Amino acid sequence: MSGPVGQPPTSKPGVQAGRTRPRHRLLSLGLLAPSVIVLTLFVAYPFGRTIWLGFYETDPFGGNRRFVGGSQFAGTLTSDEFTSSLWVTFRFTLLTVPTGLILGLVLAVLAHQRLRGMAIYRTIFSSTVATSVAVASLMFLAVLSPSVGVVNQMIRWLGGQPIYFLQSTTWALIALAAVTVWQNLGIVFIVTSAGLQSLPEDLYESARLDGAGPIRRFFSITVPLLSPTLLFGFVVLTITSFQTFGQVDLLTQGGPLRSTNLIVYSIFDTAFRSFDQGRAAAQAVVLFVILALLSFVQFQAAKRRVFYGR
């Protein structure tokens, strides 16, 4: 996209390129420098350092490194805690990603009507984007409280026993998933709404003329045409679900019995509560490899099902 478009070449491209290459190269290096420096400082260096740290064991204060080879990496793969955290994180992803995508899409389709006052609904539906994790977590803490929460008050009115959502190994992860889905609703809503705006009206018109009902139109036109947007949402939600931290820290601290010990929280716990930086670094590297593989598989699998344009 860099070359001038629509201009006839003034000389043989090869000759010109050969003559100006050093200057171009200098210029491009200069232009690239800021991002190269920023990426090196904040991405490449910390990343390299994390891998390096994984080979050393520190004293409980992060000093006096001792080389221990790959034992911390091997230990990570075989540790019950790490594998159980991975498993919890997978379950958490399954609970949050499809639910979040479907709910966001449904809300977007509902709000994609030209009705009076729709702007108000759009504002409400997208408002969770502007809510911080801390606020969302504290809100759910109040809503789910066994003694004073609205949910349990309703259960009591209906004659049931209160549910200890955050204190039960069965419910805690579901409660965390609920906070997360609620929190993600805004971004999914905005992204899918934007996608809906760009869908061509003529397709719907001809489908209507062919006698397709709203459900048929949704599954045969909206979903396929929206698939790039949905893939984007899918990937972003998966990544954020693997990065979930705030909710866990505020609501459950990984408990009870590690049932909500999501992977990033587990790494934090190893690094800053056990003060074991080497082991935490090894865990982070293993997590990186797993995520890289997962993303690769995701894109490969999605390639065939995503429709990028007519």
Interface residue list for other proteins (CB under 8 A): 57-66, 141, 145-148, 164, 166-169, 251, 253, 255-258, 272-276
Whether omega before 214 lies within 30 degrees of 0, making that bond cis, reads no
Q: Amino acid identity of 194? A: A
End-to-end CA distance of the chain: 21
CB nearer to other proteins: pick between 33 and 257:
257
Supply the minimum distance, in Å, between the C-beta of residue 254 and other proteins: 9
- The half-sphere exposure of 61 on its side-chain side, counting CA atoms within 13 A, is 2
Supply the minimum distance, in Å, between the C-beta of residue 287 and other proteins: 20
**Are 248 and 265 spatial neighbours (Cβ–Cβ below 8 Å)?**
yes
CB nearer to other proteins: pick between 16 and 64:
64
CB nearer to other proteins: pick between 145 and 240:
145
CB nearer to other proteins: pick between 107 and 264:
264
Supply the minimum distance, in Å, between the C-beta of residue 154 and other proteins: 16
Supply the minimum distance, in Å, between the C-beta of residue 69 and other proteins: 15
Question: Looking only at Cα atoms, what is the longest distance across the chain?
Answer: 86
Structural tokens at position 60: 């409980």
Structural tokens at position 296: 């690769």
Supply the minimum distance, in Å, between the C-beta of residue 165 and other proteins: 10
CB nearer to other proteins: pick between 67 and 308:
67
CB nearer to other proteins: pick between 111 and 280:
280
CB nearer to other proteins: pick between 97 and 264:
264
Residue-by-residue DSSP string for 227-284: HHHHHHHHHHHHHHHHH--HHHHHHTTT-STTTT--HHHHHHIIIIIS--HHHHHHHH
How far apart are alpha carbons 98 and 78 in whole angstroms?
30
- Residue linked to tokens 């491209």: 13
CB nearer to other proteins: pick between 126 and 266:
266
Supply the minimum distance, in Å, between the C-beta of residue 164 and other proteins: 7
Supply the minimum distance, in Å, between the C-beta of residue 65 and other proteins: 7
Backbone angles phi, psi at 16, to 5 degrees: -60, -45
Supply the minimum distance, in Å, between the C-beta of residue 270 and other proteins: 10
Structural tokens at position 164: 């200890």
49-83 b/e (C-beta count within 10 Å ≥ 16 → b): ebeebbbbbbeeeeeeeeebeeebbeebeebeebe
